[in-house]
Amino acid sequence: MSVLDALKDVLKRALIHGGLKRGLREVAKALDSRTAKLCCLAKDCDNAEYSRLVRALCDEGGVNLIMVDEGRQLGEWAGLCKIDADGEATKVVRCSAACVTEFGEDTHALSVLLNYLKSQAPEES
C-alpha cells in the first residue's frame, strides 16, 4: 500500500468518525488548539499566506504535514464531492488544507502512514 493510498483511507476513516477538519478556518482552529494529529496541504495552493500560515502552525504545534499534489485530489479524499451511481466522484471542490483530529480506528493504512511519518521525522541528536 502506497503512502497516498494510506492517506486517502485515513482521511476517509477520520471523516466517518467526525475527526476531519477541512478548509483554512477549521484547520487553523484545530492547529491552534493543539487537537490536530496530522495535517495535509495542497502543493497547488495559490495563496502564499495561506500555506505559510498552515506551515507555521504545524511547526509551532509539532504536527506532521503531508503535501498533496492537487487541491482537487485532497477535496475528493476529504469528502468534498458528490458520488454518482457508478461510485465515481463528481463535482469535486478544491480543498487546500485538511487536518485529522481523530483517526477513528486502527487500520493497516494508519500504521503505514504513521511508519512513513516516523521515517520522515528529523533525527534528534
* Distances in whole angstroms, Cα of residue 62 to Cα of each of 9, 30, 36, 79, 91: 23, 13, 10, 26, 34
Going from the N-terminus, what domains does the chain have, and what CATH number goes with each? 3-120 (3.30.1330.30)
Residue 56: the pLDDT is 92
pLDDT at 121: 64
**89 pairs with which residues across the strands?**
83
pLDDT for the residue numbered 125: 36
Q: 101 Cβ partners below 8 Å, 6+ apart?
A: 14, 19, 20, 21, 30, 35, 36, 37
CA dist., res. 6 & res. 108, Å (int): 8
CA 123 to chain centroid, in Å, comes to 23
For the chain, 125 residues long, the average pLDDT of each consecutive 10-residue run is 85 88 90 90 87 90 88 82 74 85 86 84 51
pLDDT, tens digit, 9 for 90 and up, residues 12-45 = 888 888 888 988 899 999 998 999 898 999 888 8
DSSP class per residue in 32-80: HTT--SEEEEETT-S-HHHHHHHHHHHHHHT-EEEEES-HHHHHHHTT-
Name the pTM for this structure: 0.80
Q: What is the pLDDT of residue 124?
A: 45
CB 17 within 8 A of CB 105: yes
